[in-house]
Amino acid sequence: MPELPEVEIIRLSLEPVVTGREITRVIVRNSLLRRPVSEDLPSETAGEKIHEVIRRGKYLLFRCSGGTLIIHLGMTGKLTVVPSSTVPSRHDHLDFVLAGGLTLRFTDPRRFGLVLWTRLSPLEHPLLRGLGLEPLSPDFSARHLILRAKNRILPIKQFLMDHHVVAGVGNIYANESLFLAGMSPFRPAQQLTAHEHERLVSALQSTLRNAISAGRNHIQSSHSAEKPEGYFPLQTWVYGRSGKPCRVCGSIILRIRNGRRSTYLCPSCQKEEGKYV
């Protein structure tokens, strides 16, 4: 699932290509996404010029003259810019045909993504209104986390993934940040000290910045004819490395399943007695 860095990389790669272009036509091949695509979307957006592409959490906002196109990539969504003559494949559900022979194409095999249009302030849209702070914004701080963690007994990893607390952090970057902070993912959020919250903020920000930087490098070194989709190879500390030696201490990385997500950790670097051994 794309998280904040992947969505930011998509934004960075799309923005120079689509900004200033007019949406001339919208083709909806399959409207059954997480929410059905409105029947009015083609008529509402045709003729609109894209002024800028911004990101809020995992949402991409294409600000146009008369409103904003809000896109979420769900679990498997991709946005690519292709020549308009490119034949669509099976999971290419929407095309925004742009002036100048290019098309912004939305592809999503599992169809958990969403595409909608609003003429109101997008940040006030019910889907975005309750999002927590952007973790790379100047307002994001240990103080913010301390206030939000008050009386929260849930594990710190789940707390980090609560989008009302921090926007855009999912399983990969929550696991990675907790490793970097040397902290057990199972610590109840309210038990963290101020110093630990500071360590966590710093680890989270550095993890996200490094991932964005890896994505940028991947874009620059990619000679693929297709525009980057936001997915890039990431060298992780713990995520996806169960059974492999910790890059710091050599202990074997553990994977603990909880529901449909897995928690990855180094039992030495993130030691908390009795929780996972």
Interatomic CA distance for residues 224 and 208, integer angstroms: 25
Q: Is 193 in the site for Zn ion (CB under 5 A)?
A: no
Q: Is 181 in the site for Zn ion (CB under 5 A)?
A: no
CB closer to Zn ion, 193 vs 268: 268
Interatomic CA distance for residues 272 and 266, integer angstroms: 11
Interatomic CA distance for residues 72 and 89, integer angstroms: 20
Active site residue 58: yes
Q: Which of 247, 261, 271, 275 is catalytic?
A: 261
Binding mask 201-240 for Zn ion (x = CB under 5 A): ----------------------------------------
Interatomic CA distance for residues 48 and 177, integer angstroms: 40
Interatomic CA distance for residues 26 and 7, integer angstroms: 22
CB of 131 to Zn ion, least distance (A): 33
Q: How many residues bind Zn ion (CB under 5 A)?
A: 7
Stretch that binds Zn ion, among 34-42, 121-129, 166-174, 243-251 (CB under 5 A): 243-251
Stretch that binds Zn ion, among 13-21, 154-162, 186-194, 246-254 (CB under 5 A): 246-254
Active site residue 2: yes
Interhelix angle for 171-180 vs 194-221, to 10°?
A: 120
Using CB under 5 A, pick the residue from 192, 246, 254, 265 that binds Zn ion: 246
Active site residue 8: no
DSSP-assigned letters across all residues of 87-145: PP-TTEEEEEEETTTEEEEEE-TT---EEEEESS-GGGSHHHHT--B-TTSTT--HHHH
Q: Is 248 in the site for Zn ion (CB under 5 A)?
A: yes
Q: Is 154 in the site for Zn ion (CB under 5 A)?
A: no
Tokens of 173: 């970057």
Interatomic CA distance for residues 204 and 172, integer angstroms: 11
CB of 180 to Zn ion, least distance (A): 11
DSSP-assigned letters across all residues of 186-208: TSBGGG--HHHHHHHHHHHHHHH
CB closer to Zn ion, 144 vs 241: 241
CB closer to Zn ion, 220 vs 235: 235
Q: Is 268 in the site for Zn ion (CB under 5 A)?
A: yes
Nearest to 209 by CA among 159, 264, 134: 134
Active site residue 261: yes
Interatomic CA distance for residues 4 and 226, integer angstroms: 22
Q: Is 142 in the site for Zn ion (CB under 5 A)?
A: no
- What residues act catalytically? 2-3, 58, 261
Binding site for Zn ion (CB under 5 A): 246, 248-249, 251, 266, 268-269
